[in-house]
Amino acid sequence: MSASSIGIGVIGCGVISAAYLKALRHFPVVSVRALADQDAAAADARAAEFGVPAVPVDALLADPEIQIVLNLTPPAAHVPVGLRVLAAGKHLYGEKPLGVDLAEGRRLVDAAAAGGLRLGSAPDTFLGGGQQTARRAIDQGAIGRPLGGTAFMMVPGHERWHPNPDFYYAARGGGPLLDMGPYYLTALVQMLGPIAAVTAFGGRFRQPRRIQAGPRAGAEIPVDCLTHIAGSLAFAEGAIVQICTSFEVWRHRHGPIEIYGEAGSLVVPDPNRFDGTVELCPPEGEWRAVPSEHGYGDDNYRGLGLADMAEAIRAGRPHRACGALALHVLEVMAGLIRSAEGAGVVTIESRPERPAALAPGQVVGI
Ligand SMILES: NC(=O)c1ccc[n+]([C@@H]2O[C@H](COP(=O)([O-])OP(=O)(O)OC[C@H]3O[C@@H](n4cnc5c(N)ncnc54)[C@H](O)[C@@H]3O)[C@@H](O)[C@H]2O)c1
């Protein structure tokens, strides 16, 4: 912990909290002061594992040493818990999605603005070495003007590994798009700018699902959301990208993201990871790896966006994984779902700035 580190309190001590508590050790700008969970046993377990005190949620929110709350609760709790955090006068950084619908997301953004507080949101993998290398290639004109692309996130379903996967199939906040879409859409928006319109079809096939891991293995869970959504994204700058997110697909052979430009094609690595190799193919040429000059491509850095927000608070500059970006991504996802439910082409109103790129070798959160 550095003398001027910003105090963090974590609410929600489930599966993903371990990845954050490990990775936050990379960033001296933040120090985790307390953990809380509505299930005290979950907070106690992480407290024992990471040597941070477990406290009740109210005590965490009242702690003057805590300036930012990291909200790692399930999607349906993001906004209710987030509003409590902001009402307590603390900055908020939360897991994705920002909310389970657009109205919720807007409420959170408005509450942060009204309170003069920072609002940040996962994902932050777009700040990792893999995604920053891809962005830099596009910004430097390596493929010329981007025209099109593809994004595929298709898996059988998280009930195969998550001990409490119910929320992935819930009517509010469930489905592959709200779960994994934020990684893909945030990566695309940082490379190509904001999305202007969307259209999609969706389906719900295998149901109910059966939990396959942990103490509840064998239990059935209902499917109350679309589990296969195939859509098209029209970017404000002109590119057109096909996206498919699914909890129905056993295996496939598509890469996560490809971008096609007037002067070449780019293979972009998995946006749910910080690492990965970018590949470039010029017209008439061969594929070659693009060397990465960026940091944060060799490990789990979950919390990089939170560290960037803490640094930004100290420096008085905008932070990258910000509420406006997360709200745009939520508007796009809500638009795709509305379209898949029969609304036709849905216009997207928000036009966030692209977050500032990280410079090659830039270190965050010292
Ligand atoms: N599991 C993953 O691999 C993963 C990866 C990236 C992001 N995420 C995201 O992280 C979030 C949490 O996922 P998870 O897998 O850790 O879920 P989880 O169910 O394992 O843990 C969530 C924890 O939040 C607690 N909680 C729920 N409501 C609460 C409330 N109102 N107040 C206080 N505590 C509350 C629960 O008791 C539980 O311990 C989700 O938004 C998910 O999309 C998960």
- Give the DSSP letter string of 159-190: GGT-SSGGGGG-TTT-SHHHHHHHHHHHHHHH
**pLDDT of 4 over the 90 cut:** no
Q: How many CB atoms lie within 10 A of CB 63?
A: 19
As a whole-number percent, the residues of the chain with pLDDT over 90 amount to: 98
C-alpha 286, offset from chain centre: 32
Instruction: Give the mutation target among 72, 124, 125, 302 for probing the ligand 1 site: most ligand atoms within 8 A of CB.
Output: 72
User: 22-39: string of b/e by CB count within 10 Å (b at 16+)?
Assistant: bbbebbbbbbbbbbbbee
Fold of 129-294+329-347: Dihydrodipicolinate Reductase; domain 2 (3.30.360)
Q: Is 8 in the pocket of ligand 1 (CB under 6 A)?
A: no
CA of 262 to the centre of ligand 1 (A): 42
Dihedral sign for Cα atoms in the order 299, 323, 185, 290: negative
CA of 253 to the centre of ligand 1 (A): 30
52 touches 21 (CB < 8 A) = yes
Averaged pLDDT for residues 274-284: 97
Q: Is 58 in the pocket of ligand 1 (CB under 6 A)?
A: no
Strands (E), the chain: 6-11, 30-36, 68-71, 91-94, 119-121, 146-154, 195-203, 209-210, 220-221, 228-235, 240-246, 257-261, 264-268, 278-281, 288-290, 346-347
- Predicted confidence (pLDDT) per residue in 334-364, tens digit: 999 999 999 999 999 999 999 999 999 999 9
- Give the DSSP letter string of 5-47: PEEEEEE--STTHHHHHHHGGG-TTEEEEEEE-SSHHHHHHHH
- Predicted confidence (pLDDT) per residue in 45-67, tens digit: 999 999 999 999 999 999 999 99
Q: Which amino acid does the sequence have at 39?
A: D
Averaged pLDDT for residues 1-28: 91
* Closest approach atom of ligand 1 to CA 73: 24
Alpha carbon distance 258, 230 (integer Å): 16
**pLDDT of 148 over the 70 cut:** yes
Averaged pLDDT for residues 18-39: 97
State the DSSP code for 2.
-
What residue owns the CA closest to ligand 1's atom 32? 38
**pLDDT of 2 over the 60 cut:** no
Averaged pLDDT for residues 112-132: 98
User: 249-276: string of b/e by CB count within 10 Å (b at 16+)?
Assistant: beeeeeebbbbbbeebbbbbbbbbbbbb
Averaged pLDDT for residues 251-275: 98
CA of 11 to the centre of ligand 1 (A): 9
Q: Would strands 240-246 and 146-154 be described as parallel, antiparallel, or unpaired?
A: parallel
CA distances to 49, 117, 305, 318, 322 from 364, in Å: 26, 21, 9, 14, 16
CA of 338 to the centre of ligand 1 (A): 26
Can you give the pLDDT at residue 3?
52
Can you give the pLDDT at residue 1?
45
Calculate the average pLDDT of the chain: 97
Alpha carbon distance 186, 322 (integer Å): 11
Alpha carbon distance 249, 266 (integer Å): 25
CA of 72 to the centre of ligand 1 (A): 5
pTM score > 0.95 for this model? Answer: yes
Averaged pLDDT for residues 145-161: 98
Can you give the pLDDT at residue 330?
98
Strands (E), 204-345: 209-210, 220-221, 228-235, 240-246, 257-261, 264-268, 278-281, 288-290
**323-338 vs 176-192: helix axis angle to the nearest 10?**
120
Can you give the pLDDT at residue 359?
95
Instruction: Give the mutation target among 21, 37, 301 for probing the ligand 1 site: most ligand atoms within 8 A of CB.
Output: 37
Residue bearing tokens 């997207």: 348
Beta bridge partners of residue 195, listed in sequence order:
235
171 touches 224 (CB < 8 A) = yes
**pLDDT of 174 over the 70 cut:** yes
Can you give the pLDDT at residue 137?
98
pLDDT band, residue 304 (cuts 50/70/90): very high
Alpha carbon distance 126, 187 (integer Å): 5
Annotated domain spans of the chain: 6-125+301-321, 129-294+329-347
**pLDDT of 17 over the 70 cut:** yes
Fold of 6-125+301-321: Rossmann fold (3.40.50)
